[in-house]
Amino acid sequence: MSASREQFGSRLGFILAAAGSAVGIGNLVGFPVAAAKYGGGAFLFIYAIFIVLVCLPVMMAELSVGRSSQKDPLGSYHKLSEGSGLWSIAGWLVLITPYMIAVFYTVITIWLFGYLFEAATGNLAQLADPDNFGTFINSNKVFIYFLAVAALVNLILVGGVKDGIERSAKIMMPALFVMLIGLVIFVLTLDNAFAGLSYYLIPDFSKINAGVVNSALSQAFFSLSLGMGIMITYGSYMSRGETIAGSAKFIALTDTVVAFFAGLLILPAIFSFNPNINTAELSDSSVSLIFTFLPKIFLALQGSIGYVGASAVASVFFMLVFFAAITSLVSITEVPVSSLVGEKGYSRPKALLVLTVTMGLISIACILSFGRVEWLSGFVSYAGESKSLFDVIIDVFYETVLPLNGLLLCLFVSYRWKKHNFHKEMEISDATYQGSLLGRYVDFSLSTFIPVILLLIFVNTVALKYFGVSFIG
């Protein structure tokens, strides 16, 4: 069976697909917001260190597990642990996580599609109204946009690895790079853009504390799509003719460069709109930045480039974020698809149908949890806050479980699958890996301090999120 497993058609195709997964809303909005709040260049510096020292080894481990086992995450844990029941818990966890993240990511992607549609059809002024977002998420239009997003994801995934995922990444990723660079150039020509630029790049180390360090690592981990089974799944479609270390470095570099460029776009845009902005007030969440603050900035451009020009800029921006979101959504939905195909023997269309219906129902429950249905809107309450179903899914699966999955993977690779098997996989088509400084570093870090760091983040998040107890600043 493993001999017939579908593969990416080329190295470039694989890299674009994996980078497509990594580049998402986290890069385009989450990263610039975090950089603005946490000391600009100082945050960048810490983020870059975490990408290289912590996230890169974890990515290599995930890709190796997938390529070696030639299976989905659940099957990988099962096969490489030789059927150990305890490790299949880790396998299940890394299957449920992408399933639930896909649910909330779908909801945000639907909103992006809606905003793209509205901006492109002349409704920018309405989008810029501060009350619009609240009305929009509870309007029935959302269900139509939902059908459009679900249809697009299905259309891509039904084509399989090469003709679906790879082909769409080869179209959307270059388009994304061009739109991003075009917008950065445009924004830098605006008045006061350079105030934003210097705010972004000049480091302010006084803003760094333990909480910021924690955020930088969580952001880096999420941004590289780790702990979600995606890199295990994509690794299983990777050819043995490629080097894992080289590919992982390239994916991480692309992801980081896109995040950096997104900062060059968002911060100058914010400062050109209001040079005296107090960045501490800058919205806490990426969601309010994209859907409330940025439309106001786009509309303000009408003074210099007219309403049509402003709508065009807004449309390109929403298209950019939408492309980034769709390639990520495709990658995360592929994880349960590959499990249903691999473990249950479903055909791809059948797996997609089952997932579209079941995940779709939970997504709809999330859509109804913004006030329309009372018990979904006040689903539970912890640490003194009432949470909607949507909030709970984000808290549990995005904020909490990712580092736990990363921790389990590091322990699995180092102590159960065993280092020599991991090395063997890393050395395939890579004569330079054995004995290299990188090889020794990856080996040491994955079995020692990376799991410790991930454990600390996990414990800290649980204490803070659910019990309101803060161990660190």
Name residue 343's beta-bridge partners. none
Token duo for residue 466: 């659910």
Binding site for ligand PHE (CB under 6 A): 21-22, 24-27, 101, 105, 222-223, 225, 328-329, 331-332
Least separation in angstroms between residue 292's CB and ligand PHE is 19
- With 0-12 / 13-18 / 19 or more C-beta atoms within 10 angstroms meaning exposed / middle / buried, residue 21 is buried
Amino acid at 410: C
Comparison of 55 and 74: residue with beta carbon closer to ligand PHE = 55
Going by C-beta distance under 8 Å and a sequence separation of 6 or more, which residues neighbour residue 158? 164, 348, 349, 352
Block residue for tokens 């069976």: 1
Write the CB contacts of 231 (distance below 8 Å, at least 6 apart in sequence).
18, 21, 59, 62, 63, 66, 224, 225
Output the smallest distance, CB 33 to ligand PHE, in A: 13
Q: Which C-beta is closer to ligand PHE: that of 301 or that of 409?
A: 409
Least CB distance from residue 463 to ligand PHE, whole Å?
24
DSSP track, 37-74: HTTTHHHHHHHHHHIIIIIHHHHHHHHHHHHHHTS-HH
Nearer to ligand PHE among residue 27 and residue 256 (C-beta) = 27
Query: Measured from the CB of residue 368, what is the shortest distance to ligand PHE in angstroms?
Result: 22
Q: Are 243 and 430 in contact (CB under 8 A)?
A: yes
Q: Which is nearer to ligand PHE, 105 or 133 (CB)?
A: 105
2/68 Cα distance (integer angstroms)? 10
* CB-nearer residue toward ligand PHE: 301 or 404: 404
- Give the Å distances, CA to CA, from 143 to 147, 276, 335, 369: 6, 39, 25, 14
| Distance of closest approach, residue 20 Cβ to ligand PHE, in angstroms | 9
For residue 34, the minimal CB distance to ligand PHE (Å) is 12
**Beta carbon of residue 218, minimum distance to ligand PHE (angstroms, whole number):** 12
Q: How far is the CB of 102 from ligand PHE (least distance, A)?
A: 7
* Ordered DSSP codes for 123-182: -HHHHTSTTHHHHHHTSTHHHHHHHHHHHHHHHHHHTHIIIIIIHHHHHHHHHHHHHHHH
Q: Decide whether 22 or 316 has the Cβ nearer to ligand PHE.
A: 22
Please state the closest distance from residue 287 (CB atom) to ligand PHE, in A: 12
* DSSP labels, 212-246: HHHHHHHHHHHHTTTTSSHHHHHHHTS-TTS-HHH
The residue number with the shortest CB distance to ligand PHE is: 24
Nearer to ligand PHE, 27 or 76 (CB): 27
Nearer Cβ to ligand PHE (279/328): 328
Give min distance, CB of 80 to ligand PHE, in A: 23
CB of 25 or CB of 213, closer to ligand PHE: 25
Cα angle at 106 between 105 and 107, to 5 degrees? 90
Single out the residue of 10, 9, 7, 22 nearest to residue 250, CA to CA.
Answer: 22
Compare residues 193 and 335 and give the one whose CB is closer to ligand PHE. Answer: 335
